[in-house]
Amino acid sequence: MLMIKQDPSLLQSEISIPMTLNNQPHEPVRRVVFHFGQWQRDFLVRYRDDSEQQIGLPENLDLPFQIPLNLKYQVKLDGHHLILGPVVGFITNQKKENLAPKGLNISYRYMRLLDDNGLTFICAVDGINVKEQTIEGYYYSHNDEEPWKKGVFPFPAALYRRATVPNSLYSELVNIMGDEIFNSYPFNKWETWDWLSSNPELRRHLPYTERFSSVQVLDSMLSRFGTVYAKQENGKASENLFKISKEMQAYHVFDSEGKEQILPEEKAEEFFSSFIKKKYILQQEIEVSRYEGRHIDFRMIMQKDGNQQWGCTAIITKFGERNGITTIVSDSGFALSGENALRKVFKLNRKQTFRKLEEMTSICIEMCKALERTGGHYADLGVDLMIDKNLKVWILEINNKLPDHSMPFDFLKDANLLQKVLSTPLEYARARAGF
Amino acid sequence: MKKKYKIIPDMKFRSCLTVNPFRIEELNIAKKGIWYFRFGLQAFELKVETSDEIAIDELHLSIDVIDQAGIPLDSQYEITIFGNEIIIGPYIGILATHEQSRLEELLYASYSKYIYDYPAIGGAILIFSLEGVDTKNDIIEGFMYNPVTDIWEKGQYCYPSSIFKTISMNKELRSFFQTKYKDRIFNIYNFNKWQMYDWLSNISTVKDYLPETYLYKKVNNIESLIVKHEELYIKPIYGSRGRGIFKVSNLQGKYKISYDKNDGKQEVIVNSIVELLEFLESQIKHKAYIIQRAIVPQMIDERMVDYRMILTKDQSGNWKENGLVSRLGMTGNITSNISTGGEAEDGETILQKSFGIDAHESFRLHKKMREVAFEAALGLEKSGVHCGNLGIDMLLGKDQQIWIIEINNINPNALIMVRVGDRNQYYKVKLANMLYAKKLAGFSEEEA
């Protein structure tokens, strides 16, 4: 860990580094490419033989951004590349005016638990300046009464996307940063099926899905599965969810509140035309497991860690409302740890419980890897699984846009686990940024 | 998820492996020429054939190879290709005890838990004793797990690909296994308390977390040390569970010696250094001891608190923490060992209680402890010990300073996780041990 100092004795083109960094005593590096986030500049090296671990920069660098001098950094000399960091950014909002130190203090209270380690900043979509390659936002400064400080920064080495980024801006970001943005492309429900179902290991765990392109597709799905779910391709987990079955030439359509509509066949074209227009998918019904009439599913919090490896940080069982068709954990729903639920609901013994949890985890890890092979860079996903009556594991949904992990914890009340869930993506981002 | 295969005996050919054409392409073993088939340490030259009639998840292997290698047929195998070798496995050995006669009881009592999640491990798993190793004929008599019947089958088997060793053994045997296994056996060397200090105190990232420690010598350094540190622990080099530990306190001219007996604390006061040495000699006899500066830990209700962190390597070969447990000693005892009547509780809960901090702060402290533990684990490996499973005992001073007191690498017992109600974490430790052995056997995690 070292500090950055401004050194008036340095020329505009010079940087000073401690002697101890020189790992090639016989042929010390004379010129370096200095990296701070995505920003790079060529410098002449001056070695300083003092005990203080610091990097010296010339006074008038004339940069469009700041290098905060009150933070501790790590430094790596890799050949003639001198990398200062980690520089990590989070995009969390659309508008910078909605970012405020007070709110950040609450949402990112776990920051103070992490090491004073490089630059971590939070920004909004409209704070990104592609032309200048700078980002306006707030950075976190440890040991300060008011830890969030406003500033302008270079593009970071790793960017955690927690807000919707318009396509054109996203392309610009990729153009500058490459693949260092996660979660990258927000795939929808159709793409989940489309990307993953060609993998035979995963196919077995995915409910059969088709695009709701015509009433004929609906009819063929109904004749095959009896009951199907219609969901909006881009909708959230439980928005615009319908359960459809057919009896005596009439469609029975239940909405997520359980209200039933009965449609004679001849009304179908007209009724379902809005589904077709609004891009719905049709999905095979899975025989749900219920506990006291409640829907049960499992939220698997899948994250990459500081070793840049996928793991399951937490498994939370969600219980829906009595006789509801979803598991929105609302006032009358509740949550349990995965282990307790398997023992209580499925009456598994210890060995079976352990095996099932490991199986759920390994299916999800395989799925995360497959998503990265087929579609993008991900590091923080909320995966909803279901276990049917035959104890088979089904992948219901992958929340990749803005997974809000704190929600089930409102019920689970495990502060220690929540800390881990919230801080793991940052650990990953720092590792990704080279440290 | 790697593909799993069943081995089907083939009576028609000799030295031959027949595979579905689709798989031959996928495994990249279509080339003509020489192939070796490896199971454990044995390799057999054979030819590879292809046939449409073979199911996609089957390997038809000629019976002569199956017989010679002693391949269990009820297991599900993975395949890796390495150079000109087709390796099936994993074939993992667990060296569980010295005496053959104890194997059977251990199998069902404790070792079955290692394979609770057999599907994740797969392959052949052999449990054996040192006595069962026939070094002349390269045969091991032991018990092989049959996943179909869930029974351990007694028999004679060839050497496995990797070994998870859970006992200590002498130098000759260590060299024997090192010769055969190189880095595919872990926990081969079991260091003592002095070696741990001696090695780690040379490692810059760790040395600040070790209380000063000295080897106990007869005509002694104890006099100057008791003046310098006021309180010292005298511990047997090889002891565990807090047995045989003495605490010596300097009472200005007099010395108090405290030690735990089953029924509580014993105290002896002596009037001079000479008497102190005499007392210690009478207790210690000829055994090797260390002297360690006594750290004053943060206590709860006058009870000693220490922490055990369990570290394991998993299939990726990276260290992971598998839980932090705190142990509270009996009131007034000089150690917090649970075998002398202490209690175990969840580590973070006790961090919060003992320092009066919230979940945020305990998370941070826990993280710091984990980082120190990882550095110590890396330090041990730099010292030449191949580890895969460590129990790291730590104390926290009143200023939250972290101290590593002891590190156990002879299969530290994770049963303590069950005591704090985290039974799954206990199984996870066992699974991690097996998955690391699986990696060593040549079956590492798939690349993303």
What are the chain A neighbours of B116 within 8 Å (beta carbons)? 351, 354-355
- B50 to B34, B45, B54, B83: CA distances (angstroms): 15, 17, 8, 20
Nearest CA in chain A to B113: A351
DSSP code per residue over A46-109: EEE--SS-EEEE-S----SS---TTS-BEEEEETTEEEEE-EEEEEEES-GGG--HHHHHHHTG
pLDDT at residue B133 above 90? Answer: yes
Distance from CA of A258 to the nearest CA of B (A): 38
B116, B316, B360: residue with CB nearest A419: B360
Q: Which residues pair with A35 in a beta bridge?
A: A40, A83
Confirm whether the ipTM is greater than 0.95.
Answer: no
pLDDT of A366: 95
pLDDT of B350: 94
pLDDT at residue A372 above 80? Answer: yes
CB contact under 8 A, B1 and A201: yes
Question: Among B204, B357, B363, which would you mutate to test the A interface (most chain A Cβ atoms within 10 Å of its Cβ)?
Answer: B363
Q: Which long-range contacts (CB under 8 A, 24 or more apart) does A77-80 make?
A: A77/A17, A77/A21, A77/A22, A77/A23, A77/A29, A77/A32, A79/A29, A80/A29, A80/A31, A80/A32, A80/A33
What is the pLDDT confidence band of residue A301, given thresholds at 50, 70 and 90? Answer: very high
- C-alpha–C-alpha distance, residues A409 and A404, integer Å: 10
What is the pLDDT confidence band of residue B368, given thresholds at 50, 70 and 90? Answer: very high
A114, A309, A416: residue with CB nearest B359: A416
What are the chain B neighbours of A113 within 8 Å (beta carbons)? 360-361, 363-364, 367
**Any idea which fold B298-440 has?**
D-amino Acid Aminotransferase; Chain A, domain 1 (3.30.470)
Query: What's the CATH number of domain A208-284, 3.40.190, 1.10.238, 1.10.287, 3.30.1490?
Result: 3.30.1490
Distance from CA of A161 to the nearest CA of B (A): 21
What are the chain A neighbours of B56 within 8 Å (beta carbons)? none
- B6-89 maps to CATH 2.40.40.20: yes
pLDDT at residue B314 above 80? Answer: yes
* pLDDT tens digit sequence for A80-92: 999 998 999 999 9
Instruction: Judge whether A110 is closer than 8 Å to chain B, CB to CB.
Output: yes
pLDDT at residue A303 above 60? Answer: yes
pLDDT at residue B287 above 90? Answer: no
Single out the residue of B235, B394, B426, B415 nearest to residue B338, CA to CA: B415
Q: Which residues of B touch A (CB under 8 A)?
A: 1, 116-117, 119-120, 316, 318, 348, 358-364, 367, 423-424, 427-428, 431, 446, 448
Neighbours of A168 (CB within 10 A): 9
pLDDT of B218: 60
pLDDT at residue B240 above 90? Answer: no
pLDDT at residue B90 above 50? Answer: yes
CB contact under 8 A, A362 and B1: yes
Q: What is the DSSP letter of A435?
A: -
pLDDT of B337: 64
CB contact under 8 A, B318 and A307: yes
What are the chain B neighbours of A307 within 8 Å (beta carbons)? 316, 318
Distance from CA of A376 to the nearest CA of B (A): 12
Average confidence (pLDDT) over B308-333? 89
What are the chain A neighbours of B367 within 8 Å (beta carbons)? 113-114
A112, A309, A354: residue with CB nearest B117: A354
CB contact under 8 A, A362 and B431: no
Q: At what angle do helices B359-382 and A415-432 cross, to 10 degrees?
A: 50
Q: Where are the domains of chain A?
A: 3-85, 90-182, 208-284, 288-432
- C-alpha–C-alpha distance, residues B372 and B317, integer Å: 19
B117, B358, B362: residue with CB nearest A358: B117
CB contact under 8 A, B360 and A110: yes
pLDDT of B286: 75
What is the pLDDT confidence band of residue A24, given thresholds at 50, 70 and 90? Answer: confident
pLDDT at residue B8 above 90? Answer: yes
What is the pLDDT confidence band of residue B339, given thresholds at 50, 70 and 90? Answer: low
pLDDT of B448: 40
Bigger pLDDT: B366 or B1? B366
pLDDT at residue A330 above 80? Answer: no
CB contact under 8 A, A354 and B427: yes
What are the chain B neighbours of A112 within 8 Å (beta carbons)? 360, 364
- B115 to B92, B108, B391: CA distances (angstroms): 11, 11, 21
What are the chain A neighbours of B147 within 8 Å (beta carbons)? none
pLDDT of A404: 75
CB contact under 8 A, B316 and A415: no
B98: three-class secondary structure by DSSP: coil
B119, B367, B448: residue with CB nearest A369: B448
Count of residues in chain A = 435
Burial class (CB in 10 A: 0-12, 13-18, 19+), B205: middle
Bigger pLDDT: A117 or A237? A117
Q: Is residue A49 within 8 Å of A79, Cβ to Cβ?
A: no
Helical residues (DSSP H) of B84-134, grouped into ranges: 103-109, 118-121
Distance from CA of B130 to the nearest CA of A (A): 29
Question: Among B360, B374, B378, B446, which would you mutate to test the A interface (most chain A Cβ atoms within 10 Å of its Cβ)?
Answer: B360
Bigger pLDDT: A149 or B342? A149
Distance from CA of B235 to the nearest CA of A (A): 35
CB contact under 8 A, A113 and B364: yes
- C-alpha–C-alpha distance, residues B290 and B201, integer Å: 15
**Any idea which fold B212-293 has?**
Dna Ligase; domain 1 (3.30.1490)
**Any idea which fold A3-85 has?**
Barwin-like endoglucanases (2.40.40)
What are the chain B neighbours of A201 within 8 Å (beta carbons)? 1
What are the chain A neighbours of B431 within 8 Å (beta carbons)? 354, 358
Question: Among A358, A417, A424, which would you mutate to test the B interface (most chain B Cβ atoms within 10 Å of its Cβ)?
Answer: A358
What are the chain A neighbours of B348 within 8 Å (beta carbons)? 416
CB contact under 8 A, B120 and A362: yes
| Mean pLDDT of chain A, nearest integer | 89
Q: B6-89 and B212-293: same fold? A: no
- B61 to B9, B91, B253, B326, B412: CA distances (angstroms): 5, 17, 79, 52, 40
Average confidence (pLDDT) over B374-396? 94
* pLDDT tens digit sequence for A188-219: 999 999 999 999 999 999 999 999 999 999 99
Bigger pLDDT: B58 or A49? B58
Q: What is the share, in percent, of chain B residues with pLDDT greater than 90?
A: 56
Single out the residue of B295, B306, B292 nearest to residue B233, CA to CA: B292
Q: Which long-range contacts (CB under 8 A, 24 or more apart) does B266-271 make?
A: none
Average confidence (pLDDT) over B347-364? 91
Question: Among A1, A113, A303, which would you mutate to test the B interface (most chain B Cβ atoms within 10 Å of its Cβ)?
Answer: A113
CB contact under 8 A, A416 and B361: no
Rg, Å, chain A Cα set = 26
Written as one letter, the residue type at A212 is F
Least confident of A188-192, A216-220, B174-178, B329-333: B329-333
Q: Is the peptide bond before B90 cis (omega within 30 degrees of 0)?
A: yes
- A408 to A280, A299, A363, B14, B283: CA distances (angstroms): 27, 8, 21, 60, 57
What are the chain A neighbours of B361 within 8 Å (beta carbons)? 113
Distance from CA of A202 to the nearest CA of B (A): 10
Bigger pLDDT: A259 or A134? A134
Distance from CA of A10 to the nearest CA of B (A): 33
What are the chain B neighbours of A350 within 8 Å (beta carbons)? 423, 427
Size of interface A-B (CB pairs under 8 A): 59
What are the chain A neighbours of B358 within 8 Å (beta carbons)? 415
Token match 């992990």: residue?
Answer: A405
Q: What is the DSSP letter of B239?
A: -
Which helix (H) or strand (E) segment holds residue A379: the answer is none
Bigger pLDDT: A123 or A112? A123
What are the chain B neighbours of A353 within 8 Å (beta carbons)? 424
**Any idea which fold A288-432 has?**
D-amino Acid Aminotransferase; Chain A, domain 1 (3.30.470)
| Mean pLDDT of chain B, nearest integer | 89
